[in-house]
A and B are shown apart, each in its own frame.
Chain A
Amino acid sequence: MNDGIDILPHEIDEIIQVIREQYGYDFIDYSRASFTRRVKHCMQRAGLKTMYELRYHLINEASFFAWFLQTLTVNVTEMFRDPVFYRQLRETVIPRLASYPIIKIWHAGCATGEEVYSMAILLKEAGLLDRTRIYATDINPANLEKARKGIIPLNAMKEYTANYTRSGGTEDFSSYYEAHPDHVVIRPELLQKVVFSQHNLVTDQMFNEFQLICCRNVLIYFNKNLQNRVLRLLYDSLVPLGYLALGMKESLLFMDIQAEFESINESSKIFRRKH
């Protein structure tokens, strides 16, 4: 990752400022260590050696910025990521959701949608998909375009199938997709109740009330200040007794809002809004 690209703290500030002024995305409260790493990653991919070059391209080429944004944000995800978490969801949360006439779920920071597909499968298996609305949002439009298509490279399926089984899945996993020579396509009926749309957790407001919000491995890219703000937004977007699912190593421990949540499953990081 080093490869001779050195970035000084004030240079990162300058880049953040250029992006904010010109494109309206605000990265000031992103966790600085990983943000700096991502910027280096982008520079490497683009063959840029200096921050001067990076600034030049950002200022002068909107198409470069589109590519930069797409490469900057972390888009790594998988189906049934952390099977233990999905098992908890299946056993603890989904049965509670069954009591609502209409179930509303928000996947905040859904990346390319693999966890959304997984949720749709859980709901289908519980017989709840028909009365569910899933709002899947991401900051990155390219991610959403991919997510809508439901296309997954074939070489990922072996692992996803294993994840599914470990999450407690007992159906034939291959019945959820159509197989092609080098990729699979998630069956469209699974995605009928999903709306994919752009939402920026940093700058956008709440837009609905949900019984379950999944925001897994998104907050890790923010500093504590921004984590606090976003957690407030998520809290406000939950119905009383609504569920919040974070990533396996994300914690509410240092957060202002901690007292407003109770922990449902400590190791799977599932919380519930108290009132």
Chain B
Amino acid sequence: MNSLPPEIVVVGGSAGSVSVIIQLLEQLPQDFPFALVLVIHRQKSVPSEMDKVLGFSSNIEVIEPNDKDFVRANRIYLAPQNYHLLIEQDRTFSLDYSEAIYYSRPAIDPAFESAADVYGSRAMGILLSGANQDGSQGLAYLVQQGGRAIVQEPQSCEFPAMPLAGLQVVPQAEVAKPAELINRLFSL
């Protein structure tokens, strides 16, 4: 296991994940030392105010980054609707309008992968409830690059398919119930 705290935490979730994320944000202290990136499957082209919904649960504003915005610690970022979210070596966001993955854009796999490419062992990936297999390949890659993987305990999920797929590919991932996630973020 890594001995240094994460610089970036990427949380991927689909069906059944929003309530877990809200719980996490409500418990998040004001001075957390990493960039928190939320990648949530959302219905395409339907106007979404997810940033406001999530921001309401947090003391900190939830930002939908523009292309080439800097990734900063102590910020909460939400992958914008209809774009995949990637991170460049100079620690800026790149957005990408390419094909949906598992019918989703944003998809979780590319976000995990590019966070792993940039942050290596200082990246953490968290995979939450969902009804498909997005995220598991990316989580495997993140672990391969030295990062840390946490998967929501399948029994605690409204839709366990996504965490189960994650655990199948990354059996060594830590398993956590929603209430435990906050402590995992700060435990080494």
Interface pair A1/B96, CB less than 8 Å apart: no
B96: nearest chain-A partner, CB-CB: A34
- Mark each residue of chain B from 65 to 104: 1 if its CB lies under 8 Å from any CB of chain A, else 0: 1111100000000001011101111001011111101000
State the Cβ distance, B92 to closest chain A Cβ, in Å.
8
Q: How far is the CA of A1 from the CA of B140 in the complex (A)?
A: 11
Please report the C-alpha to C-alpha distance between residue A225 and residue B158 in the assembled complex, in whole angstroms: 45
Q: Can you list, as one digit per residue, whether each of B104-143 has a CB less than 8 Å from chain A (1) or not (0)?
A: 0000011001100100000000000000000001101100
Taking a contact as CB atoms under 8 Å apart, the answer to whether A33 and B138 are in contact is no
Q: In the complex, are the beta carbons of A2 and B96 less than 8 A apart?
A: no
Chain B residue with the shortest CB-CB distance to A38:
B98
Does B67 lie within 8 Å of A250, measured CB to CB? yes
A76 vs B107: C-alpha distance when bound (angstroms): 15
Of chain A, the residue at the smallest CB distance from B98 is A74
Inter-subunit contact B137/A249 (CB<8 Å): no
Given contacts A159-B45, A220-B97, A249-B80, contact A32 B110 (CB under 8 A): no
**Residue count of chain B within 8 Å CB distance of chain A:** 33
| A254:B138 contact, CB within 8 angstroms | no
Q: A1's contact among B80, B83, B94, B109, by CB below 8 Å, is which?
A: B109
**Cβ–Cβ < 8 Å partners of A37 in chain B:** 86, 96, 98, 110, 113-114
Query: Knowing A159-B45, A249-B80 touch, does A3 contact B94 (C-beta < 8 A)?
Result: no
Q: Which of B64, B89, B141 contacts A249 (CB 8 A)?
A: B64
* Docked pose: A6 CA to B90 CA in angstroms: 20
What band does the interface of chain A fall in when counting residues whose beta carbon is under 8 Å from B?
20 to 34
Q: Are B68's CB and A251's CB within 8 A? A: yes
With both chains docked as a complex, state the minimum distance between the C-beta of B22 and any C-beta of chain A, in angstroms.
Answer: 24
Report how far A3 CA is from B113 CA in the complex, Å: 12
Q: Is the CB of A32 within 8 A of B88?
A: yes
> Which chain A positions have C-beta within 8 A of B97?
74, 76, 217, 220, 247
Do B64 and A33 have beta carbons less than 8 Å apart? no
Q: Is the CB of B94 within 8 A of A34?
A: yes
Contact among B45, B66, B95, B101 for A253, CB-based, below 8 A: B66
Contact with B along A244-275 (1 / 0, CB 8 A): 00011111011000000000000000000000
Given the interface contacts A33-B114, A248-B80, does A227 sit within 8 Å of B68 by beta carbon?
yes
Give per-residue flags for A1-15: 1 if the beta carbon is below 8 A from chain B beta carbons, else 0. 111000000000000
Given A31-B88, A220-B95, 14 more A-B residue pairs with CB atoms under 8 Å apart are A1-B110, A1-B113, A2-B113, A33-B114, A34-B84, A37-B96, A76-B98, A163-B45, A219-B67, A220-B97, A221-B96, A248-B80, A249-B83, A254-B68
Which residues on A are within 8 Å of B, measured CB to CB? 1-3, 31-34, 37-38, 41, 74, 76, 83-84, 159, 162-163, 217, 219-221, 223-224, 227, 247-251, 253-254
Shortest beta-carbon contacts, A-B, top 9: A33-B86, A251-B66, A31-B94, A74-B98, A34-B96, A217-B97, A220-B67, A2-B137, A2-B141
Measuring CB to CB, which residues of chain B are less than 8 angstroms from any residue of chain A?
45, 47, 64-69, 80, 82-84, 86-89, 92, 94-99, 101, 109-110, 113-114, 117, 137-138, 140-141
7 CB contacts below 8 A, A to B, read A1-B101, A2-B141, A31-B86, A37-B96, A217-B97, A220-B67, A223-B88
